[in-house]
Structure 1
């Protein structure tokens, strides 16, 4: 379990690894923190987004869509391997999950069946 890192530290770490980083609009303060806390961080969510082109993928992940406001993630990795940072803080990417699964992630044990939606995943991933 970890305390979320700052936006500046995120950029520093990614660039230190040799990645090309694109900072999108006001990503450093773009979040859903008003819906609840972010952290402790217990894992990482990896998604795929099917759109037509990098710009559209970045836009939908930044803005969201009707029924689910952005940011939908923290960063978008394009086909060149460039990272487009779109949010820092709580994002609409994990939704509700199973508390038993979260405890297994924290304890690094075998994942149980996901059979209930009783835990705020956006806070922990």
Structure 2
């Protein structure tokens, strides 16, 4: 079985990441847990968002690290996140806002085999 990933990105999301990297340099993502920006993937220039001791690195998309808080991870750990792009305005602090699109998190529950591979 191919390595199971906790986070993936669609081709559309990867193209937007590439565009944003050309404008802003290295990036990172953090899955917002609510409050001001709802629950959406937020894109920041690397170094502009401080990763905390309770953030979990889920993997990379487009060469960019993708984090989520430990508390939120406990809720989402049974699902694979698929980062996509849709028209509209997203989080006010996320870099894609001026592009007229926003990143969106879709998810699916792991199969039994995938879950076993993630948790041997």
Give the TM-score, by structure 2 length.
0.26
Larger Rg: 1
Give the TM-score, by structure 1 length.
0.26
Which structure: greater strand fraction? 2
